[in-house]
Structure 1
Amino acid sequence: MTHLAEYDALTGLLNRRAFLQKLDVYFKYAKRYDKQGTLIFIDLNKFKLINDAYGHSTGDAYLKFIAEHLVKTLRATDMIGRWGGDEFIVFIHEINAVPAQKVATKLVNSFCSSEIRIQGHTFTPSASFGLSSIEKHIQDVGQLIHGADVAMYTAKTAGTCGWEEAARK
């Protein structure tokens, strides 16, 4: 029952509720002990077109591939969740903005150079990534998520597979 309550049934990743609970615990720890961490918000580009053109079973297979790809590409210690629909969220412990930029670049490159083959169709995944790091001015998890979300939408506006970082104050 606990597994069903904490993990997304389709992808096997943490669900939104469980991710938020774990993130909140680490965030409080990080603020108290001056630790670092970076949140990456991921939104798949043009996923609706895949779902509409090829059907929900193809869309589901696509989402499963993305989840597996994230697990293979990131460290075992990184926290990965499905935020909802075609959005994913990652928290990278113990790194600040500069190394997180390298992780984001690695993710972008791995996405843009991958191919997904589903039911005779080949897709190249594309996603927009937004980064937000735990900094002095970030007071709660909501601000951290908001920063990553805004940065992701800035990247999405560019219309290509890429990433942006939250504005620093």
Structure 2
Amino acid sequence: MVTTADFHNARILIVDDQETNVQLMEQMLREAGYCSVTSTMDPHSVYALHRDNHYDLILLDLQMPGMDGFQVMEKLKELKTGDYLPILVITAQPGHMLRALTSGAKDFISKPFDMMEAKTRIHNMLEVRLLYKQLEHFSRKMASLALHDELTGLPNRRLLMERLSLSIAYARRNKRIMAVMYLDLDGFKLLNDTLGHDAGDTLLSMVAARLVAAVRQEDTVARLGGDEFVIALWELSNADDAVDLASKVMKAVSQPYSIQGRDVSMTASVGVAIYPTHGEDVETLMKSADLALYEAKRTGKNDYRIASQPAGDAHS
């Protein structure tokens, strides 16, 4: 839904080499309530202006010396900012209208123009443009939701698998090691049942932020669901690096939390699998890390375990 505020705040650029025409258009737009209007009398500057400001509407005169409106439109196509060029051309030549539309313009105003008609065409074109922007934003949001956990904003399982595959491929190609760290919270269910789901969600979000802060920028922290997190450690110098990071993660999680006015304590158990020692593909590494996590929880929680063997060899 496009609101009145959306219209009034829309970015508009006037391009005309005649100062009187620019002033006339500016006055008309101000009277119509538009607040973000820019103008230029230099057609050569339009490309850079639109690249930097992403205008919602460009009012473009076709007849200008040095560089006419058709040349401006061709230049703007090089920006590749999407399929929608928000150009409304202004011309006194009826024969130019069809050519302008086939060159990329979305509508036209004939000179001398009727004020009411011009305002209506501007309003209608802005409505289409603003709806198009909302659709783009919605599409990007849906794409992000498909790859991220809604509660914490962390990558979800799908994006984690992609990152792990890339990390393994890099390690294999460069004969390096990497690791997978499987983590869950000790006693999370009890806290959730005692303080309620809102408190549980708050805690999960706080844990997510601490995990991201505890690891390196190149590492990936993902939430698989519930209180389960996985960290893909991109590249390690040696296996001790994974141990150091596991200790750092556990220490970060175990710091006190303040939730709903209460001090809350929480610890984590961690299982670590290292490529290529504990697996050479995503599935095997994840299973190895999961088994190591189970062992850490079985032997007392608030601890970490390094996988003892590849998951596929566990019962051999």
TM-score range, shorter chain: over 0.9
Calculate the TM-score normalised by the size of structure 2: 0.51
- Percent identity, aligned pairs only, is 37
2:159 corresponding residue in structure 1: 18
Aligned partner (choices 241, 257, 264) of residue 99 of structure 1: 241
Task: State the AA in 1 paired with 2:186.
Answer: N
2:289 corresponding residue in structure 1: 148
* In 2, Cα distance between equivalents of 1:136 and 1:111: 27
2:202 corresponding residue in structure 1: 61
Give the CA deviation at 1:136.
Answer: 5.2
Q: Is the 8 A contact 2:269 2:302 kept in 1?
A: yes
* In 1, Cα distance between equivalents of 2:261 and 2:155: 30
Task: State the AA in 1 paired with 2:232.
Answer: F
Instruction: State the secondary structure of the residue aligned to 2:149.
Output: coil
* In 1, Cα distance between equivalents of 2:272 and 2:171: 17
* In 1, Cα distance between equivalents of 2:228 and 2:197: 16
Note the aligned Cα RMSD (angstroms).
1.4
Uncovered stretches (5+) of structure 1, i.e. residues with no partner = none
**Aligned residue runs from structure 1 range 3-152, under 5 A:** 3-95=144-236, 96-112=238-254, 114-135=255-276, 138-152=279-293
Cα gap change, 1:164 to 1:137, in 2 (>3 Å): closer
Task: State the AA in 2 paired with 1:148.
Answer: A
**Runs of 4 or more above 6 Å deviation:** none
* In 2, Cα distance between equivalents of 1:79 and 1:145: 14
Give the CA deviation at 1:117.
Answer: 0.7
Structure number with greater Rg is 2
Q: Is the 8 A contact 2:187 2:266 kept in 1?
A: no
Uncovered stretches (5+) of structure 2, i.e. residues with no partner = 1-141, 311-316
Cα gap change, 1:137 to 1:92, in 2 (>3 Å): closer
Q: Is the 8 A contact 1:97 1:132 kept in 2?
A: no
CA deviations 1:64-112 (Å, max 9, x no partner) are 0100111111111111100111000001111142111011111222223
More off after superposition, 131-140 vs 83-92: 131-140
Instruction: State the secondary structure of the residue aligned to 2:176.
Output: coil
